[in-house]
Amino acid sequence: MNLSPLQKARYEYTPKLPGMLRNGIADICVKEGAPTQSVADQEQIKALFPNTYGKKEVTFEKGQNTSVAKKQIVGVILSGGQAPGGHNVICGLYDALKATNKDNVLIGFKGGPSGLIDDKYIIFEDAFINEYRNTGGFDIIGSGRTKLETEEQFAVVTDVCKKHGVTAIVIIGGDDSNTNAAVLAEYMAAHDTGVQVIGCPKTIDGDLKNDDIECSFGFDTATKTYSELIGNIERDANSAKKYWHFVKVMGRSASHVALECALETQPNICLIGEEVAEKKMSLSQIADQIVDSVVKRSETAGNFGVAIIPEGIVEFVPEFSMLIKEINELLAGENTAKFNALESWEEKYDFIKKGLSQEALAVFDVLPHAIQLQLFLERDPHGNVQVSLIESEKLFSEMVKEKLAKLTAEGKYKGKFSAQHHFFGYEGRCAFPSNFDADYCYSLGYNAFMLIQYGYTGYLSKVSNLSKPAEEWVAGGMPISKMFNMERRNGKDKPVIRKALVELDGKPFKYFEAHREAWAVETAYTYPGAIQYYGPAEVCDLTTRTLALEKG
């Protein structure tokens, strides 16, 4: 196999474990804290999880290992979108498992949760796993978005576990996957299968965090990758002084990625979906905010700038959500075929005009034509608009262009405006994990095995105190049901981990808010550069500004 020099060097990197896990397996003991309660709706959740609710918080300490010796056969799956560090979770799990007993077995179920149902698997061995240490991607076993949530699926999983003698399953995923991990743990306990289930917090979106989980893995590397690119674009913009760059960054709903990139690069504009929703901003008001910066900068800095747009922004704009809802209703059932049969845009527009409320039509009419087309052409199999495919970076740059043209015609704007568009998402999801993510993920996996070995189930592997050096990190576990509240999903009340949105009274947003007016006008760009893997710890082991501000 051809290896790049960095790939070779990263194979040799030894991830840092929390101090308490460093002395070897024989010296890890467990300390139980107080029984836990879910963050809300305690009675309902307790009733749904009679076997796994209310368990104690767990931390590991240096001391005599008192876990029961038994052969462990552990199954692991990767679930959902890729996030840098996934391979290291598996490596940490494997190393702890083998260090405990070389006869222990780690099975990787392939292609995400469906691998566990279809019984597609590999058995990990040293030579194979060594090719994935400290590398990005989920290609070691692949991932998928099948949800493991029904009793029928759980029954199949039970059979697969029986066939292999599986004693525990580790699910590496986001809020939904870990919610389902807790439901599976309860099922396994209720049916006395002896199979434990442990979750690990993953997602580049950064929206799986709460009082217990300081951050999900992958967020650090993905935001550093995007910030490097944004910083490079800022420098290009500042050199050429002729373009406004509209950069959309991933984050299906929450704006944590956009906010972190803004803290790292100090762009002229960064939209935050949660603020847009709170202030009930219209599309036009958002475009006005950008226009204001373009006009002011044109008079001082020049006709250039950088705006960061979070992927999920349009869903936070109340009038846009209303429009999408009406379009979905308008095209329900047979109407899709009727609409598709219309040949010209005029006929289609007429159909739309008759079917939408006046308010929705007014919003539709301000959209650039390319976006109007996207709303009607790119729909999912149920006929719903695919909001994630909407090119919001182009939507806002077009709206800004139109507003500036009007100002120019009125003699109120004399500058130029030329836009470039970018979308940074997949570029960051499989990058070589930063030292932080390499260390954090390895620790999560190692720790997950300690939870298994000590007999816990329905727990999330928890490593905290992350803004400090790894030596001071705290390893342990938290019952997943502690993070639950009841939410309405598809017409039913379900226990779920609440998605963490950007808190408008939180320190990261407050810092951004205090500086953004100056950044909108001045050229205050900062250039983070590429992720550094080797060199001084203050450069290489630095975590996100978000975590530093939250914990600082």
The pair of structure tokens assigned to 243 is: 């373009």
As measured in angstroms, the least distance from the Cβ of 35 to ligand FBP is: 30
Long-range pairs for 236-243 at CB < 8 Å and ≥24 separation? 237/304, 237/305, 237/306, 238/304, 238/523, 238/525, 240/304, 241/302, 241/303, 241/304, 242/303, 242/304, 242/416, 242/418, 243/304, 243/418, 243/419, 243/420
Site string for ligand FBP, 336-375 (x = CB under 6 A): ----------------------------------------
Minimum CB distance to ligand FBP smaller for 183 or for 250 = 250
> Is residue 139 among the annotated active site residues?
no
Query: By C-beta, is 80 or 108 nearer to ligand FBP?
Result: 80
Position among 205, 220, 264, 274 found at the interface with ligand FBP (CB under 6 A): 205
Contact 304, 242 (CB under 8 A): yes
Q: 101, 372, 388, 465: which one contacts ligand FBP (CB under 6 A)?
A: 388
Subset of 159-188 contacting ligand FBP (CB under 6 A): 174
Give yes or no for residue 86 binding ligand FBP (CB under 6 A): no
Interacting residues with ligand FBP between 6 and 45 (CB under 6 A): none
Write out the E strands in 26-126. Answer: 28-35, 56-62, 73-78, 105-109, 121-123
Give the number of residues in contact with ligand FBP, rule: CB under 6 A.
13
Token pair 């396994």 is found at 188
Contact with ligand FBP (CB under 6 A) among 81, 92, 111, 115: 81
What are the Cα distances from residue 315, in Å, to 251, 346, 384, 398, 466?
12, 27, 14, 18, 32
Stretch that binds ligand FBP, among 100-108, 199-207, 433-441, 540-548 (CB under 6 A): 199-207
230-269 residues in contact with ligand FBP (CB under 6 A) are 250-252
- Within 305-324, which residues bind ligand FBP (CB under 6 A)? 311
Smallest separation, CB 543 to ligand FBP (Å): 19
Q: How many residues does the chain have?
A: 552
Nearer to ligand FBP, 429 or 545 (CB): 429
Q: φ and ψ at 181, to 5 degrees?
A: -60, -40
Report how far apart, in Å, the C-alpha atoms of 424 and of each of 223, 285, 393 are: 10, 25, 11
Q: How far is CA 102 from CA 65, 88, 99, 128, 263, in A?
A: 17, 19, 6, 16, 46
Least Cβ distance, residue 226 to ligand FBP (angstroms):
11
- The residue range among 78-86, 278-286, 448-456, 465-473 that interacts with ligand FBP, by the rule CB under 6 A, is 78-86
Name the pairing type of β-strands 105-109 and 269-270. Answer: unpaired
Toward ligand FBP, which CB reaches closer, 80 or 85?
80
Please state, in angstroms and rounded to a whole number, the distance separating the CA atoms of residues 284 and 274: 17
Q: Residue 425: which of 251, 235, 195 has the closest Cα?
A: 251
- With beta carbons less than 8 A apart as the criterion, state whether 214 and 263 touch: no
Q: Where are the alpha helices (DSSP H) in 16-102?
A: 42-48, 86-100
Tokens of 128: 């194979």
| 393 makes contact with ligand FBP (CB under 6 A) | no
CB of 207 to ligand FBP, least distance (A): 8
> Of the two residues 207 and 212, which places its CB atom closer to ligand FBP in the complex?
207
Taking the least distance from each CB to ligand FBP, the nearer of 253 and 268 is: 253
Q: Segment contacting ligand FBP (CB under 6 A): 76-84, 374-382, 464-472, 533-541?
A: 76-84
The distance of closest approach from Cβ of residue 512 to ligand FBP in the complex, given in angstroms and rounded to an integer, is 20
CB–CB of 280/233 below 8 Å? no
Say whether residue 80 binds ligand FBP (CB under 6 A): yes
Interaction between residue 142 and ligand FBP (CB under 6 A): no
3-state helix, strand and coil shares in percent for the chain, rounded to the nearest 5: 45, 15, 35
Shortest spacing between CB 250 and ligand FBP, in angstroms: 4
Q: Which two tokens stand for residue 507?
A: 């320190």
Per-residue interface string for the shown chain with ligand FBP, residues 464-503, x marking contact by CB under 6 A: ----------------------------------------
Phi and psi at 309, nearest 5°, equal: -120, 120
**Comparison of 110 and 429: residue with beta carbon closer to ligand FBP:** 429
**Under rule CB under 6 A, residue 203 binds ligand FBP:** yes
Taking the complex as a whole, the smallest distance from the CB of residue 380 to ligand FBP amounts, in Å, to 12
Contact 181, 197 (CB under 8 A): yes
CB of 139 to ligand FBP, least distance (A): 14
Distance CA 394, CA 419 (A): 9
Taking contact as CB under 6 A, which single stretch among the options 77-85, 107-115, 370-378, 450-458 is the one that binds ligand FBP?
77-85
Return the range that interacts with ligand FBP (CB under 6 A); candidates 37-45, 79-87, 262-270, 463-471: 79-87
Task: State in angstroms the smallest separation of the CB of 138 from ligand FBP.
Answer: 10
- Phi and psi dihedrals of 158, rounded to 5? -60, -45
Rounded least distance, CB 171 to ligand FBP, Å: 12
Catalytic: which of 175, 205, 220, 437?
Answer: 205
In 3D, which of 117, 299, 225 has the Cα closest to residue 529? 225
Output phi, psi for 186, to 5 deg. Answer: -65, -40
**Does residue 101 contact residue 26 with C-beta atoms inside 8 Å?**
no
- Give catalytic residue positions: 205
| Residue numbers at the binding site for ligand FBP (CB under 6 A) | 80-81, 83, 174, 203-205, 250-252, 311, 388, 429
